[in-house]
Amino acid sequence: MTPAEKRYFKMHFAQQRNALTVLYDVLNDLETYDENHLKTLLAENIAAKLKVYKVRLYERILKSLTTYHSKKSIQSRIRLGLEEVDILMSKQLYDLAADHLQKIKLLGEQYEEFTYLLDIAYIEFRLLNISMDRVGLSKEPLFSDMSLYLKMLNQQVNMSQLGHQLIDFQKTNYFKAISPEQVQWLERTLNKKLPELSGDNISFKAQLSRNIIRTVIFQFLKQKDLEFEARQNNVALFEEHTQFRESLTFNYLAVLRNYMNFCLNNNKFDEVKSTITKAKEFIKNKTPHEEPQLIYFYFSELRMYYEECKYDLILKNFGEDIEKFARKNKIIGERITVISIVYLVLAALFEGKHHQAQYYLRLLNEAEEGVKEYFNEFFILLELISHFEANDFYSLSKQIQRVRRKHQIPKDPINFFQSMVNWLDRLKKYPDQKAIIAKEMKLECNTKFSEDQTMSSFTHYHLNNWCNALINGTSLREELIKQLSGKN
């Protein structure tokens, strides 16, 4: 529970001191849940019936959260509105019920909540039959409304079904080349299976689904111009229908993220910057509960500045902010946060701020186990290179000894990680021969381990330029600027 949710519970559902509020207070003070320890903190009569009290407390907290969050989403406002209509009808206040129902109907139409609108039409039928002021009125308009709702709901369902077929296709084929038969299936889907949406009554959600389908197909067919146009259209849809940015917050931010990532991968940095600004303002002003999603936009800023060789700007603008933000939102160990911290490590390394690099490397130890396991070899090599670049040969020697013991590095390596540990050991022993060693290192890695996962990470972050820096007697920063300035 958030602090605000806890305050609400204490004010409205836990004012009286009793067994449930005692249990809540004790649980709230625990850092980790341990039932045996919990019982020692409770009175004997509460501890003896702990299972019963936990169920009752759970139900009360759930009721508190439901009340606290009531009418905070469009769906919640409609559901509670329908319950209020039921109460008014049970009190035979039919005019008030009809007025209230009309407001809910307009809300449902505005946000395309067609499943609720079908329920609303049914309640309108009931009102026409039981309200003396309405008996005898034509029901034909209600049939017209229901037909329209069903038509637009059908649009949404058909597009959603086709969209999920494409999502399943994307999941199974994202990291491999597609066959000629699959290309034909994608083209057939685009040209024949994907229905046009025309006329006056077109569902926004159906339009969005259709456009996302086109985006995925263009992505697989490598039609970048059409993919870029489709992603722009996704953003434009939300800009045109602003009410859906409120009701479909997650979808809107996902559309912005996907558009931003496409622009980032294609060096459209002006579009990246404007999208990041738009997302930050939206979250700050409209949906503070979506604040954890800002990490994706922070990450894109970091990567953009990294590709622009603005390492000093990364450290100045993001160094403390990323850590504070990640701890506040409890995402310090998640994959996207870890990758963001990697950019901080590299920026510090390139700027020669080795103490900062070591500090951010220690932060990476807080990553979730699955993430740490995936990046473990890369992190170790980063730390070794950091020690070498800082001329801290004592720490480098100690760390290599630990790595050799733990990972049993052979003299004849079978992967990039083992090879790099051996080469770093040689660089430590013979730093005056670094150019010769680096040439041999570069040749071996490119010949033997070009498909290795850890080497792919090195290439992704442009650390493959480290060999060039050693060979040319320049800094890694200079080599990166030389490469990336030409690229951008």
Q: Are residues 14 and 57 in the same domain?
A: yes
Q: Which domain holds residue 17?
A: 3-68
* Per-residue pLDDT tens digits for 351-364: 989 999 999 999 99
Asked if 204 and 74 touch (Cβ cutoff 8 Å), the reply is: no
Question: Does residue 17 come out as left (phi exceeding 0), alpha (psi in the -120 to 50 range) or beta?
Answer: beta
Cα gap 332→18, rounded to integer Å: 37
Q: What pLDDT is stored for residue 225 in this prediction?
A: 94
DSSP 191: I
CA distances from 396 to 164, 361, 392, 473 (A): 50, 14, 6, 20
Picking from 122, 137, 152, the residue at the C-terminal end of a domain is 137
Helix axes 19-29, 50-68, angle to 10 degrees: 80
Structure-token match 């290192």, residue found: 441
Cα gap 111→77, rounded to integer Å: 12
Q: Are residues 12 and 26 in the same domain?
A: yes
Asked if 388 and 427 touch (Cβ cutoff 8 Å), the reply is: yes
Q: Are residues 26 and 64 in the same domain?
A: yes
| Residue 48 covered by a domain | yes
Structure-token match 């990640």, residue found: 326
Asked if 182 and 235 touch (Cβ cutoff 8 Å), the reply is: no
Residue 222 has phi, psi (to 5 degrees) of 60, 40
Picking from 82, 105, 137, the residue at the C-terminal end of a domain is 137
Cα gap 26→24, rounded to integer Å: 6
pLDDT by 10-residue block (mean), the chain, 488 residues: 82 80 84 83 85 88 82 85 91 90 92 90 84 66 86 87 86 83 90 76 87 91 94 94 89 94 92 93 82 91 91 91 90 92 93 92 90 90 93 93 91 91 93 92 89 89 90 89 70
Cα gap 296→290, rounded to integer Å: 12
Q: What pLDDT is stored for residue 133 in this prediction?
A: 63
What's the one-letter identity of residue 14? A
Q: Are residues 60 and 92 in the same domain?
A: no
Q: What pLDDT is stored for residue 273 in this prediction?
A: 93
pTM of the model: 0.78
| Residue 159 covered by a domain | no
Cα gap 237→231, rounded to integer Å: 10
Picking from 13, 34, 68, the residue at the C-terminal end of a domain is 68
Q: Are residues 82 and 59 in the same domain?
A: no
Q: Are residues 100 and 54 in the same domain?
A: no
| Residue 52 covered by a domain | yes
| Residue 38 covered by a domain | yes
Helix (H, G, I), strand (E, B) or coil at 413: coil
* Per-residue pLDDT tens digits for 136-168: 667 778 888 888 888 888 888 888 888 888 888
- Here the tokens at position 227 are 């993919």
| Residue 471 covered by a domain | no
Q: How would you class 200 by CB atoms within 10 Å of its CB: exposed for 0-12, middle for 13-18, buried for 19 or more?
A: exposed
| Residue 20 covered by a domain | yes
Asked if 57 and 24 touch (Cβ cutoff 8 Å), the reply is: yes
| Residue 108 covered by a domain | yes
Q: What pLDDT is stored for residue 132 in this prediction?
A: 59
Q: What pLDDT is stored for residue 386 in this prediction?
A: 92
Q: What pLDDT is stored for residue 399 in this prediction?
A: 94
Long-range contacts formed by 330-333: CB under 8 A, 24+ apart: 331/292, 331/295, 332/363, 332/366, 332/367, 333/366, 333/367, 333/368, 333/371
Q: What pLDDT is stored for residue 284 in this prediction?
A: 85
Q: What pLDDT is stored for residue 9 in this prediction?
A: 83
| Residue 120 covered by a domain | yes
Helix axes 369-389, 335-350, angle to 10 degrees: 0
Q: Where are the alpha helices (DSSP H) in 91-190?
A: 94-110, 114-130, 140-173, 180-188
Q: How would you class 416 by CB atoms within 10 Å of its CB: exposed for 0-12, middle for 13-18, buried for 19 or more?
A: buried
Q: Are residues 20 and 62 in the same domain?
A: yes
Helix (H, G, I), strand (E, B) or coil at 209: helix
Residue 9 has phi, psi (to 5 degrees) of -60, -45
Residues belonging to the chain: 488
Q: What pLDDT is stored for residue 418 in this prediction?
A: 93
Domains identified in the chain, total number:
2
